[in-house]
Structure 1
Amino acid sequence: MSSFARQSTGDKAFIVLVYVFLFIAMAVVLYPLIYIVSASISDPAKVGSGEMWLLPKGITWEGYERVFQNEKIWNGYFNTIVYTLAGTAVNLAVTLPAAYSLSRPDFVGRGFFIGMFMATMFIGGGLVPTYLLVKELGMINSMWALILPSAASIWNIIVTRTFFQSTIPRELQEASQIDGATNFQIFFQIVLPLSAPIIAVMALFYGVGHWNSYFSAMIYFNDEAKYPLQLVLRQILVLQEMASQSAVTAEVATALNSKAEIAALLKYAVIIVSTLPVIVLYPFLQRFFVQGVMIGSVKG
């Protein structure tokens, strides 16, 4: 006799509701993904008219062909990879030492620095002062304008500090000090090798943030050759929106509609191409991601 049959009517009803809710949630999540994949290989006229609502209609690979032939898209792809790798490296180089220092109970002034860090989560200078600072530092049209202002996330520092406090045994660090190890040796030779889960989680958090970022590039970049992929995608979306809303003559409208259809094809194809690396990478980091979320739920 199965365990489900032995349960009470109320428990059975609850389990059924849980499964119904999970199936609804799965459908809500999967539908946009299936729609985008289908739209990227469908006739844009059928996508725009609503004839294609789930499965592909009028299959065409023109969108992907244009993506592979478009130098601006591939240049943006290359820029995004560079910005993501460099930005994530800087983020980890700042977050890990800062979190380790704040996790040490013998660190003088720890409470003061934690308070100052947390104050920045509620008080900020705003966009205009930040832009003026970046301009004065000569970082306009430089990738450092995207990296240095967001070199560390205070929330991620707190999560990483919690990991160090709850996972790395204090006795291990004290034993290393007795053996003559310096703070640098403890950090690099003991703490970091034992911190692979939180390093993977922070790399994922920061990496996805850099990969999806476009607003900072839109503010600080004037040179299109340095645009990240997300800003190139935004240009495609703006082109399609302008074409769909322009009130012009029939001849011009036909030309604009043709461009809008091409932009729609590129839009869905670029969405797939731009999200593919994150989708491929996530399954390998999923268990670290879940562990990082659980670490963040522990207050300390």
Structure 2
Amino acid sequence: MTSRSQSQPRRGGDRAFDIANTIFVVLVTILIGYPLVFIAAASISDPQAVDSGRVWLWPVDVTLDGYRRVFAESSIWRGYANTILYTVVGVVVHLLITLPCAYALSRKELVGRKGITWYILFTMLFSGGLIPTYLVVKSLGMLDTIWAIVIPGATGAWSILVARAFFKQSVPDELTEAARMDGANDIQIFFRMALPLAAPIIATLGLFHGVGLWNEYFKALIYLSSPDKYPLQLILREILIISQDASQGSDAGSASSNADQIRLAGLIKYAVMIVASVPLLIIYPFLQRFFTKGVLIGSVKE
């Protein structure tokens, strides 16, 4: 049976809102998507065409020299392996710390949970700084190890508070009380009831933290000294710096050789951006549905 709201024609104000909303979404999509399209086109275009402004959406004078130069480095593949390892281990550690902490804070029976929450919130506003953090990492013997990348920042106030709000909404007190009446303890409730419902928040927190670890280079720059442990971002940074130095060197040789170095540096600049971004662009669509589900949880009362 057709409802009354569906049978009535849409008002002019509603249609105007739909049009304005569509225009706004299209503009935001263009603003977000165009830089990526431009970088992809510039990475396979002649640098002179890019510098002269001839590249807008489509590549001009297509060449793959930049990608050949980037992937010719054996360190690229080692950097990929290191970054994948750091990201996977870091996300696992992040979830192992964040989810139990957030679930415990979401339960009313936890003694002192408000004080603990405020203490965690305090760390969101103030931190020890770089030097104290470095001294702690050094004193724990984590320098030049994977743990120097994974442990500092393994969790954060924002992640804990978001997961806490999710558990409060998805696992109400009435549900846990019914489980306790059936003989379940807190650990059983967490693993058998809370975690199966937490797929959206697990995917969200895992992706956010994983993106941060994937793009991380500052911690590696500070804590790592062995080149065989460098993540991808740090290796790409070194390749870009070396190519730029080679193109600007005064002892580059002939004018044609110097021009080739400048051209190659321009190609590498955009190629490294694509090499670093493609894996995340591939993974994100598979997790998008969890974001949608997470946003809608609690918005409609059944």
> Which TM-score band (shorter chain)?
0.7 to 0.9
Q: TM-score, normalised by structure 2?
A: 0.87
- Structure 1's 115 and 252: CA in aligned 2 closer, same or farther, altered over 3 A? farther
- Structure 1's 254 and 102: CA in aligned 2 closer, same or farther, altered over 3 A? farther
What letter corresponds to residue 176 of structure 2 in structure 1? Q
* TM-aligned CA deviation for residue 151 of structure 1: 1.1
What letter corresponds to residue 25 of structure 1 in structure 2? V
1:192-239 CA-partner distances (Å, limit 9, x unpaired): 112111111111111111111111111111222211111122223334
Matches of 1:24 and 1:230, distance apart in 2:
31
1:28-76 CA-partner distances (Å, limit 9, x unpaired): 2222111111112112332234332331111112223333332111111
Contact 1:101 1:107 in 2 (8 A): yes
- Structure 1's 161 and 256: CA in aligned 2 closer, same or farther, altered over 3 A? farther
- Structure 1's 189 and 17: CA in aligned 2 closer, same or farther, altered over 3 A? closer
Q: Select which of 261, 265, 289 maps to 1:259.
A: 261
Which residue matches 2:3?
none
Contact 2:240 2:268 in 1 (8 A): no
- Structure 1's 173 and 19: CA in aligned 2 closer, same or farther, altered over 3 A? closer
Which residue matches 1:45?
48
Unaligned runs of 5+ in 1: none
Which residue matches 1:230?
233
Q: Select which of 262, 286, 290 maps to 1:288.
A: 290
What letter corresponds to residue 281 of structure 2 in structure 1? I
Matched, 1:180 2:183: yes
Contact 1:39 1:268 in 2 (8 A): yes
- Structure 1's 163 and 211: CA in aligned 2 closer, same or farther, altered over 3 A? same
Matched, 1:25 2:36: no
* TM-aligned CA deviation for residue 257 of structure 1: 4.5
Contact 2:86 2:146 in 1 (8 A): yes
What letter corresponds to residue 236 of structure 1 in structure 2? I
- 39-48 vs 207-216, greater mean Cα deviation: 39-48
Contact 1:233 1:267 in 2 (8 A): no
Matches of 1:186 and 1:11, distance apart in 2:
46
Matches of 2:254 and 2:176, distance apart in 1:
72
- Cα RMSD after superposing both structures: 2.8
Q: TM-score, normalised by structure 1?
A: 0.87
Q: Select which of 84, 102, 109 maps to 1:99.
A: 102
Matches of 1:137 and 1:296, distance apart in 2:
43
Contact 1:103 1:161 in 2 (8 A): yes
Unaligned runs of 5+ in 2: 1-6
Matched, 1:113 2:144: no
Matches of 1:13 and 1:176, distance apart in 2:
50
Q: Select which of 239, 257, 275 maps to 1:273.
A: 275
- Structure 1's 291 and 155: CA in aligned 2 closer, same or farther, altered over 3 A? farther
* TM-aligned CA deviation for residue 110 of structure 1: 0.8
Size of the alignment, in residue pairs? 294
What letter corresponds to residue 289 of structure 2 in structure 1? R
Contact 1:236 1:263 in 2 (8 A): no
